[in-house]
Amino acid sequence: ARSINLAVIPGDGIGPEVVAQGLKVLEAVLPADIKVETTRYDLGAKRWHETGETLTDAELERLRGHDAILLGAIGDPTVPSGVLERGLLLKLRFAFDHYINLRPSRLFPNTASPLAGDPEIDFVVVREGTEGPYVGNGGSMRTGTPAEVATEVSLNTAYGVERVVRDAFERASARPARKLTLVHKNNVLVHAGHLWTRTVERVGREYPDVTTDYLHVDAATIFMVTDPGRFDVIVTDNLFGDILTDLAAAITGGIGLAASGNINPGGEFPSMFEPVHGSAPDIAGTGKADPTATVLSVALLLRHLGHETEAVRIEEAVTADLAERDGTARSTDAIGDALAARVAG
Ligand code: IPM
Ligand code: MN
């Protein structure tokens, strides 16, 4: 019998509510001979208030021993901005070398897009996850004075860019449209931009069946709204990818449906799966959160661990569930129950 040794970080706000549904669906979809063993890690705002800790080295070490991590959401208005983001979420992404931040965007049937004309949307953003402006390479001088100077230096290494570009080409070559769009701002951020552009050109020679093109990030936001069907696989840096994937979620039925995987493809470290949305403290505890993004993240988790059949079953259940939605409000739990019933049935 195979088994999954899963770490669960429910986190803050609606995190625990949506994670409970994700686990419910996970249990329901797996055949009897695949056991899931879950270990819960109580990290986030509460823990920080109680102990001042975000993530200890000992916890990091224990997390390392799991097959994968399921994370709900991190962040709370009572904690200064950046403490939990840097000390927990980004720490995990960096420590476990999650250099692929995978964010699929699909407009499911019967799901409202704010875009006119019922566009077909099915693309995937391969966002770099360990470099760019997220590395914390910056500083502030004369802080708090009128003469303050603050910098955030974006780190881009040939190694880091090549590995994410290669992964994106692999994904593009496995998709029917076989198209890769590099998004950057190489007319202004020329140093990093040219590294990315050259890398896509060079690696692209090994993938003659993949069409490549390039868009500046500002233009990419326009096309995402006016012609989202032009995108298949997008490869981009950490910050551009962050911004673009919120937009991508907004055009495909909202943040309640957007899933993501922080992936370490080689499997040296556990990959981590989480909804793109945040902790939504304003609706925490009300049962209004849509757990679908977390459930779809569980599908990505299963796919990563080689359980393709079960991943597809979850995606089909979500497609069917969305197709039958008629605007009647359902609770977080009710949506989780409905999805669990479908994958089991
Ligand atoms: C995301 C989030 C994070 C990011 C924050 C919470 C650090 O916005 O996963 O997209 O910027 O990557
Ligand atoms: Mn984001």
Query: Going by CA atoms, what residue is nearest to atom 10 of ligand 1?
Result: 242
242 is catalytic: yes
% of the chain surpassing 70 pLDDT:
100
- Reading the block at residue 178, the tokens are 């076989």
86 Cα nearest atom in ligand 1 = 7
Ligand 1 pocket mutation pick from 90, 94, 98, 273 by most atoms within 8 angstroms of CB: 90
Q: Where in the chain is the domain with CATH 3.40.718.10?
A: 1-99+266-345, 113-252
Q: What's the pLDDT at 298?
A: 98
The tens digit of pLDDT for each residue in 75-97 reads 999 999 999 999 999 999 999 99
Which residues keep their CB under 5 angstroms from ion ligand 2?
Answer: 242
Please give the distance, rounded to the nearest whole angstrom, from the Cα atom of residue 11 to the centre of ligand 1. Answer: 14
Q: Model pTM?
A: 0.96
Q: What's the pLDDT at 117?
A: 87
Q: What's the pLDDT at 345?
A: 75
C-beta atoms surrounding 6 within 10 Å: 22
Give me the phi and psi of 180, to 5 degrees please: -125, 125
Antiparallel, parallel or unpaired: β 271-275 and 68-73: parallel
108: pLDDT strictly greater than 60: yes
218: pLDDT strictly greater than 70: yes
Given 12, 185, 232, 237, the catalytic residue: 185
Residues within the annotated binding site?
93, 103, 127, 218, 242, 246, 278-290
The tens digit of pLDDT for each residue in 312-344 reads 999 999 999 999 999 899 999 999 999 999 999
93 Cα nearest atom in ligand 1 = 12
The per-residue pLDDT of the chain, averaged, comes to: 97
Residues within the annotated binding site for NAD(+)?
278-290
118 is catalytic: no
Q: What is the DSSP string of 106-142?
A: E--TT---SSTT----EEEEEEE-SSBGGG--EEEES
**C-alpha torsion angle, residues 263, 264, 265, 271 (rounded to 10):** -60
User: Domain 1-99+266-345: which CATH class?
Assistant: alpha beta
Long-range CB contact pairs, 37-40, < 8 A, 24+ = 37/3, 37/4, 37/5, 37/6, 38/6, 38/7, 38/8, 39/5, 39/6, 39/7, 39/8, 39/66, 40/8, 40/9, 40/10
260 Cα nearest atom in ligand 1 = 9
12 is catalytic: no
101: pLDDT strictly greater than 60: yes
Cβ < 6 Å from ligand 1: which residues? 85, 89-90, 242, 276
Please give the distance, rounded to the nearest whole angstrom, from the Cα atom of residue 34 to the centre of ligand 1. Answer: 32
User: Exposed, middle or buried, 196 (CB in 10 Å: 0-12/13-18/19+)?
Assistant: buried
Mean pLDDT for the stretch of residues 121-134: 98
Q: How far apart are CA 137 and CA 131, in angstroms?
A: 10
Query: Going by CA atoms, what residue is nearest to atom 6 of ligand 1?
Result: 85
264: pLDDT strictly greater than 90: yes
Mean pLDDT for the stretch of residues 18-42: 97
Under 8 Å between Cβ of 278 and 251: no
Please give the distance, rounded to the nearest whole angstrom, from the Cα atom of residue 243 to the centre of ligand 2. Answer: 6
Query: Going by CA atoms, what residue is nearest to atom 12 of ligand 1?
Result: 242
Please give the distance, rounded to the nearest whole angstrom, from the Cα atom of residue 21 to the centre of ligand 2. Answer: 22
The tens digit of pLDDT for each residue in 167-217 reads 999 999 999 999 999 999 999 999 999 999 999 999 999 999 999 999 999
Q: What's the pLDDT at 1?
A: 56
Which CATH number does 113-252 carry? 3.40.718.10
The string over 222-241, giving b where at least 16 C-beta atoms fall within 10 Å of a residue's C-beta and e elsewhere, is eebeeebeebbbbbbbbbbb
Ligand nearest the Cα atom of residue 262? 1
Under 8 Å between Cβ of 59 and 27: no
The tens digit of pLDDT for each residue in 39-56 reads 999 999 999 999 999 999
User: CA-based diameter of the chain, in Å?
Assistant: 65
